[in-house]
Amino acid sequence: MRRTLHVYGGEFPSIDNTTAVELVLAAGLYKMHTLVTRACRLIVPQSAADVFPALLCVANMSCPVLESKVSKIVQEETEDVVYSEEFMDLDAKCLEYISRQETLSVSE
């Protein structure tokens, strides 16, 4: 833990979800797994309106910290996710992640 604090400069400053996602993806690219985990903790999705940054992370790399939160939102608020403006900008991995969910809540 001490080495992590030294390497990453202690506590993270307060950053927005977009910046946190960029940090997660960059850290994942360079295989900095500890930094990925710490940065994932900064992304806290609460609903379909703000799940997309976290969805991008879990669909493109291993983010166990976010996995259950994102799955729950995608499964319980599927229609809100699909009808949001951000849905049209999702990459193939995000769409695949959504389609792999056990259940999706949609009305007929």
* 94 part of a folded domain: yes
- Convert 40-60 to b/e letters by CB count within 10 Å (16 or more is b): bebbebeebeebbbbbbbbbb
What pLDDT, on the 0 to 100 scale, is given for residue 6? 44
Instruction: Judge whether 54 lies within some domain.
Output: yes
Q: What is the pLDDT of residue 59?
A: 96
Enter the pTM of the model.
Answer: 0.81
Domains: count for the chain: 1
Residue 107 domain-assigned?
no
| Full residue range of the structural domain in which residue 44 is found | 2-99
pLDDT one digit per residue (tens) for the chain, 108 residues:
444 454 555 666 678 888 889 999 999 999 999 889 988 998 999 999 999 999 999 999 999 999 999 999 999 999 999 999 999 999 999 999 999 998 888 776
Helix (H) or strand (E) holding 28: helix 17-29
Question: Is 78 part of a structural domain of the chain?
Answer: yes
Domain membership of residue 104 (yes or no) is no
Which residues are CB-contacts of 107 (< 8 A; sequence separation ≥ 6)? 79
In a domain, 30, yes or no: yes
